[in-house]
Homo-oligomer: A and B are copies of this chain.
Amino acid sequence: MKILITSPAEFLNFKAKAFRVMSMKYKPEDLTRLPRSVEYKNRMVHLIDQRLIPHEFKIIKLETVDEVAQAIKTMQIRGAPAIGAAAAFGLALYAETAKVESKEEFFNGFYRAYEILKNTRPTAVNLFWALNRIKHLAEEHREDSLNEIRQLIVEEAQKIADEDVEANLQMGHIGAEILPEGNILTHCNAGSLATVHLGTVGAVLRVIHKEGKLKLLWVDETRPVLQGARLSAWEYHYDGIPLKLITDNMAGFVMQQGKVDAIIVGADRIVANGDFANKIGTYTLAVLAKEHRIPFFTVAPLSTIDMSLKSGKEIPIEERKPEEVLTCGGCKIAPDVDVYNPAFDITPHKYLTGIITEKGVVYPPFERNLKKLFE
């Protein structure tokens, strides 16, 4: 595994180390006690129902494409890479269970399933990436037998999931090499629950914890849907990582006191110039990181990078229903007033120290170095 190192961010006093990771020290089972958050078994998509955590741990089994789409829409599963794998398994489910008379009928149904899954959420690019990867494969093999096509789709979906775990493991080892020892702050959940296993940010945190380099993890609760309080606090505490939960508006005060050595967050879409969409609140953390000269990284697989968009301004931002803001954890907290509820925000690349991927760390200038990454 070769690490891509370019110039370190110029606005931060952060020293990037040029290095080469020779092999991966840890396997997933060394790093977490959690099972995979999404799997395909016995013609069913198995998901950890994330809306029930931390109160209940329950695996639900979905038997139709509509059920999978619904689970993505209602955020029973969320997190860009996990959504990608779930959607891929949705197509596998269709491929294996579709009762059709002809290949044409199979493809008609396949495209319907593709559309249903594609229209679940607009911001995370992994969803489209995973669906298109399977669609292209199926189209390439249109001349094969129906049974072969069914099998190819199931295998490809499985491969997408397995590759996601492998990529996270790589990101974990790479990130651990460059992060400073001390206190890390994270936002939302880019942990095991946001991916197939381990997490993007989650893998990095688990490796540095394993190596004794993580003193304390600050977990932003991440309103309105509370992925930090409900999911990150739960899964990192479950794996024995020392943490403190804070409300989102405390992050600045914690940084002001010198108690944060680095910030790492996930990404829902990174575009060609390094701008990226991530959970609402990420941009605020980026501004705070700049003000306090704290290294600020996003951790994401290549499948999150969308080279077709030039700048963050082109990323569609999902607005969700007002109830998410008017309630909290199921309780009504406000009178019925108007609400603005963007699910994501855009962080311009100028705030970013680096992008930790499974192929290495990308530093500024991002436009040039992201291009290099895909060459």
A329 and B335 form a contact (CB under 8 A): no
A338 and B243 form a contact (CB under 8 A): yes
A256 and B331 form a contact (CB under 8 A): no
A249 and B249 form a contact (CB under 8 A): yes
| Minimum distance in angstroms from A288 CB to a CB of chain B | 6
Number of interface residues of A (CB under 8 A): 56
Which of A59-67, A98-106, A193-201, A230-238 touches B? A230-238
A331 contacts across to B, CB distance below 8 A: 328-331
Contact of A22 with B by CB under 8 A: no
A236 closest partner in B (C-beta) = B337
Contact of A124 with B by CB under 8 A: no
Complex: A246 Cα to B253 Cα, angstroms: 20
Contact of A125 with B by CB under 8 A: no
| Minimum distance in angstroms from A252 CB to a CB of chain B | 3
Residue among A223, A242, A250, A283 with the most chain B CB within 10 A? A250
Known: A333-B230, A345-B256. A223 touches B237 (CB 8 A): no
Complex: A21 Cα to B111 Cα, angstroms: 69
B246 and A340 form a contact (CB under 8 A): yes
B229 and A334 form a contact (CB under 8 A): yes
| Minimum distance in angstroms from A293 CB to a CB of chain B | 13
Question: Which residue of B219, B245, B252, B332 contacts A326 across the interface (Cβ within 8 Å)?
Answer: B245
| Minimum distance in angstroms from A250 CB to a CB of chain B | 6
Complex: A248 Cα to B234 Cα, angstroms: 22
0/1 per residue, A271-286, Cβ < 8 Å to B?
Answer: 0000000001101100
0/1 per residue, A254-292, Cβ < 8 Å to B?
Answer: 101000000000000000000000001101100110110
0/1 per residue, A210-240, Cβ < 8 Å to B?
Answer: 0000000011111110100110011001000
0/1 per residue, A315-342, Cβ < 8 Å to B?
Answer: 0000000000111111111110111111
Complex: A245 Cα to B54 Cα, angstroms: 27
A220 contacts across to B, CB distance below 8 A: 249
Contact of A68 with B by CB under 8 A: no
Complex: A346 Cα to B254 Cα, angstroms: 11
Contact of A119 with B by CB under 8 A: no
A248 and B245 form a contact (CB under 8 A): no
A27 contacts across to B, CB distance below 8 A: none
Q: Assuming A249-B249, A250-B281, A253-B283, what are 15 further A-B pairs, CB within 8 angstroms?
A: A222-B249, A223-B247, A223-B248, A229-B325, A229-B326, A230-B333, A234-B334, A243-B338, A244-B337, A245-B326, A252-B284, A287-B291, A327-B329, A328-B331, A329-B332
Q: List 6 A-B contacts (CB under 8 A).
A: A246-B341, A248-B281, A249-B281, A250-B345, A328-B329, A329-B332
